Chain A
């Protein structure tokens, strides 16, 4: 048995060695002229990827809170779990963009911090969570604007037209529509609660399903 295990180990280590040999020996000669992103902009984009994932985990905590049996708001839970996965998709879209521009060929391992623990994990009611969500989106919007600012004008004096257009037309577009939607929900729910309190939240929750 031991000798079999050793043989397997040997085969594995040979395979590993040959895989590494191949990779280390083959120097790629790909023109670099097309790589035109500048560091200040790249670093802002890298940081934004983690911001999106932080937002995802914050929404995850909201989803978890409203799933509790003592809170029992399945509509809110669904809204927030879906928002969590959407934020993760945003992070992946930013990654895909950098890859398309020839970036992320190194320092990939440090791109995302290990666990992004959400700051707030319980809410007094649905309205307060929706308000927190709206505030969260507003800070994300501000951060995307910061990325745009740096990618448009920076110490390297390089205006990254295409990325600025993508962030403006795609990301900001979604931010503003999402914020309007959340603000509308806060408004409707607050008005419902004014007259009907708990009943208002109960009814609103079922609307979200």
Chain B
């Protein structure tokens, strides 16, 4: 007897993965874009003129994290029966390309930039979460919203708090008479984190 599998749905798809698949794919691509941007920021701080190993470590860590999360998110999409599309980028993120973005920033600006990036990533997770919590069967998917809550949101909350704390400290320190020494000490502090 030949068993036909064509009439039953043998894929892993259930719930509302189709409704948020494109948003998740876009989210993956944004992670890789940010990972490369953080890598450029780390590179800038590692040249002999800037020579701030603490800042390098901070941005390199953020680059590593966004890279890893991008891979894990692809694995998650495929766990839910979806697939990856590397072409999708939001119009907001595409618009950033206008006027050659600069990643060679001064210390406080660079941390403010990272804070901005992390907030954008967090808000994007909120948006996808909102899509997956709409109360109609095409979108409602508590497994996706719970995954976002557990795998992304808690981590994002902590990174945002940490970076915001750094900007507060650094702003205050830069208002002291010796900026150079303040930056040196702050870099040394970052290196030990």
Contacts and interface: CB of A to CB of B under 8 A. Distances in A.
Contacts of A18: 174-175, 179
B71 A112 contact: no
A96 to B, nearest CB: 8
Interface residues of A, number: 49
Interface of B: 11-13, 29, 32-33, 36, 39-40, 43-44, 46-50, 67, 71, 74-75, 78-79, 81, 83-87, 89, 97, 100-104, 106-109, 170-172, 174-175, 179-180, 183
Contacts of A118: 86
Nearest to B74: A64
Given A67-B79, A77-B75, 10 more contacts: A14-B175, A22-B179, A63-B71, A63-B74, A67-B74, A81-B71, A99-B46, A109-B103, A111-B43, A117-B87
B79 to A, nearest CB: 8
A112 B78 contact: no
Interface of A: 11-12, 14-16, 18-20, 22-23, 26, 28, 30, 53, 57, 60-61, 63-65, 67-70, 77, 81, 84-85, 88, 91-92, 95-96, 99, 102-106, 108-112, 114-115, 117-118, 121
Nearest to A58: B86
Contacts of B47: 99, 102-105, 108
B48 A111 contact: no
Nearest to B83: A68
B131 to A, nearest CB: 21
Contacts of A14: 175
Nearest to B60: A92
B80 to A, nearest CB: 9
Nearest to B94: A114
Contacts of B107: 19
A61 B86 contact: yes
Nearest to B46: A99
Contact of A114 (B75, B83, B97, B175): B97
B11 A69 contact: yes
A145 B172 CA distance: 50
